[in-house]
Amino acid sequence: MQEQSLIHALLLDGQGGARELDWPAVKQWKPEDGILWVHLDYSQPESIEWLEQHSGVNSVVSDALLSGETRPRTIRVENGLLLALRGVNLNPGADPDDMVSVRLWVEQGRIISTRKRRLLSVTDVATSLRTGEGPASTDDVLASILARMVARMSDTVDYFEEQVADFEEQALEQQSAQMRADLGRVRRQIISLRRYLAPQREAISQLLSDRIEWIGRDVRLSFQETLDGLMRHMEDLDAVRERAAVTQEEIGNQLAEQMNSRMYVLSIVAAFFLPLGFLTGLLGINVGGIPGAENPLGFGVFISLLILVCVLQVVWFKRKGWL
């Protein structure tokens, strides 16, 4: 149970490195021991117990760290920051628009983060600390997580751009209802991803506006760079979404034109055979008095009449511009 609830606990040395702590060491930690980063699975009972009873955070913070549904946001609580962030799910088999949430409580000497599914951005920062090449302070850890989270979004944005570009090329050669449906699915994924990025932008903007004394100038510059990168991703997604909408509309128009062309041909054929069918049906009724029934030339005369009717129809359709 401990291995599942405590994903990692790192005691930072202030020089880019950290050492691992176990649960007993976490529970005995004191601020004078150094900067502590505890990363938990919030769905495990031991994580819930520690956050609610032993972490020392207030109930508002612990409830937020244990919440199953979160919206990206930044809230200042006294001299600490409560954040809910979402990153692109790059786990195998995941959909590109599937976002993984992470919740963070950041104060000057401690970071508590919780998640249910793995987020590679957090894993990257923890790995860099283990190798001695990580951040040195709490604000630097937060900046590194945000920067890596936004940087990893670039692959997903590039993926959507390539998808839409492929559809644009295919639309020039062939059109199908399946292609239109696939393009609609990509548009929905882009919209879903964009829906989470907008509040995330507001969350990072809030970090820049809040004057937290333990957040340094260089870290604020990092926040600004991260925000600029996120806004570029959002602009790229908006452009890709518009391109997808135009391509889908073009495919729909071409499919409609093909359908109209087929219906036009069928209408012309029906118009040709409507008078012919009327005449043949009229003369084919099984009653007495049919003209030419006893005349050996009657069939030839009738065929000539049908040919004449067809010629007159062609002339009339051409005058009307239908052929």
Dihedral, CA of residue 30, residue 31, residue 37 and residue 42, to nearest 10: 60
Dihedral, CA of residue 231, residue 233, residue 234 and residue 237, to nearest 10: 160
Question: What is the percent of the chain where pLDDT is above 70?
Answer: 93
| pLDDT tens per residue, range 7-66 | 999 999 989 999 999 989 998 999 888 999 999 999 899 999 999 988 888 888 999 999
What are the backbone dihedrals phi and psi of residue 302, each rounded to the nearest 5 degrees, phi first? -65, -40
Assigned CATH topology for domain 264-320: Methane Monooxygenase Hydroxylase; Chain G, domain 1 (1.20.58)
The per-residue pLDDT for 40 is 94
Q: Where in the chain is the domain with CATH 1.20.58?
A: 264-320
Q: Where in the chain is the domain with CATH 3.30.460.20?
A: 2-254
pLDDT at 178 over 80: no
| pLDDT tens per residue, range 215-258 | 888 999 999 999 999 999 999 989 988 888 888 777 777 777 77
Assigned CATH topology for domain 2-254: Beta Polymerase; domain 2 (3.30.460)
DSSP designation for 88? E
Q: What is the DSSP string of 264-281?
A: HHHHHHHHHHHHHHHHHH
Q: To which H or E segment does residue 191 belong?
A: helix 177-209
Which range (142-156, 180-194, 280-294) has the least confidence? 280-294
The per-residue pLDDT for 304 is 87
pTM of the shown model: 0.75
Give the type of residue at 180: R
Which residues are within 8 A (CB) of 254 and not within 5 positions of it... i.e. 6 or more apart? 171, 175
